[in-house]
Homo-oligomer: A and B are copies of this chain.
Amino acid sequence: MLESLDARISSLAKSKSQANGHKQSETTPKAERKNISEAPCSTCSAHAQAICADLKDQEMDEIARNIRTRLVQTGQSVYREYEEAKYLYTVVTGEIRLANLLDDGRRQVTSFKTAGEVLGEQKNGYYQSDAEAVCDTVVCQIPIKILEKYLQEMPAMQTALTAKVLSEIHELRHHAILLGRKTPIEKIATFLVDRAEKLGGKDSVEVEVMLTMGRNDIADFLGLTIETVSRTITKMKNLGLLEVPSNHSIIIKDMAELENLAEGEK
């Protein structure tokens, strides 16, 4: 079982280096940066939000020798549930979904991870979920063994990682209320508001929310069917709360009202 997973990951690793070698895609401009000698960590677009943000130059140099970036194409997996946990990952660009499956194929997406967020939580040495790229995505990987050493030596990193983990717990709780107690319209509203908030645009009345993922991922994230997601969005569109210029973009027309809906008020 685990051996086959190991085999799978090494084959993934191969396909990755092929991907890096073959194309210089303009959608993933940093894909070709395979190690740090070509482009220092300090220029990383996710640096400011990552757990290495507050480190000293000297510490960054030390870390830079041990990390690698990796391009993960749409639909490809970074790791799978029950696979041996060897790395902690940070999203550089793109988006990753964490998902768990039931035996009959039902799926629950537990989290979407964007630039600067970490993934790779383990349970007894094995990953807890499948991690798959929602769109072409670049992740930065650091071996767990090395990370543990650094955490001892670099308090700023320990602090930052602890904050990320506590934030993860908070999001999972937040999501539990959504899954267990909210109606479809409240779920969609919460999803959109949370995403707008993540992009820092919650203050304005009108915000465009980009959706890298498809309706299927949204449905599995919110515990709904794809049809209910679709119907609910059109209902909100008809109410004048949203505009939907394309499948991957939604414009919030009335943020205040959407926030009310998200919290179940009226």
Contact = CB atoms under 8 A, between A and B. Distances in A.
Contacts of A108: 176-177, 180-181
A3 to B, nearest CB: 23
Contact of A177 (B102, B121, B174, B222): B102
Interface string A164-201: 01111110111111011110000000000000000000
A123 interface: yes
Interface in A144-178: 165-170, 172-177
A106 B173 contact: no
A167 B100 CA distance: 16
Contact of A106 (B107, B175, B264): B264
Given A104-B264, A181-B106, A264-B106, A165 B175 contact: no
Interface string A97-111: 010101110111010
A263 B195 CA distance: 31
Interface string A230-252: 00000000000000000000000
B179 A100 contact: no
A129 interface: yes
A122 interface: yes
Contact of A264 (B103, B165, B222): B103
A141 interface: no
Contact of A168 (B169, B180, B222): B169
A255 to B, nearest CB: 18
Contacts of A265: 103-104
A256 to B, nearest CB: 15
Contacts of A107: 181
Interface in A63-104: 98, 100, 102-104
A99 to B, nearest CB: 9
Contact of A173 (B100, B104, B182): B100
Nearest to A224: B180
Nearest to A221: B180
A128 interface: yes
B123 A181 contact: no
Given A110-B176, A176-B172, A181 B128 contact: no
**9 A-B pairs with the lowest CB-CB distances in the bound complex, closest first:** A180-B223, A179-B179, A172-B172, A108-B177, A179-B180, A108-B180, A123-B170, A106-B181, A102-B264
19 contacts: A102-B181, A103-B265, A104-B264, A104-B265, A106-B264, A108-B180, A110-B176, A110-B177, A121-B166, A122-B166, A123-B170, A128-B169, A128-B173, A129-B173, A169-B169, A172-B172, A172-B176, A176-B179, A180-B220
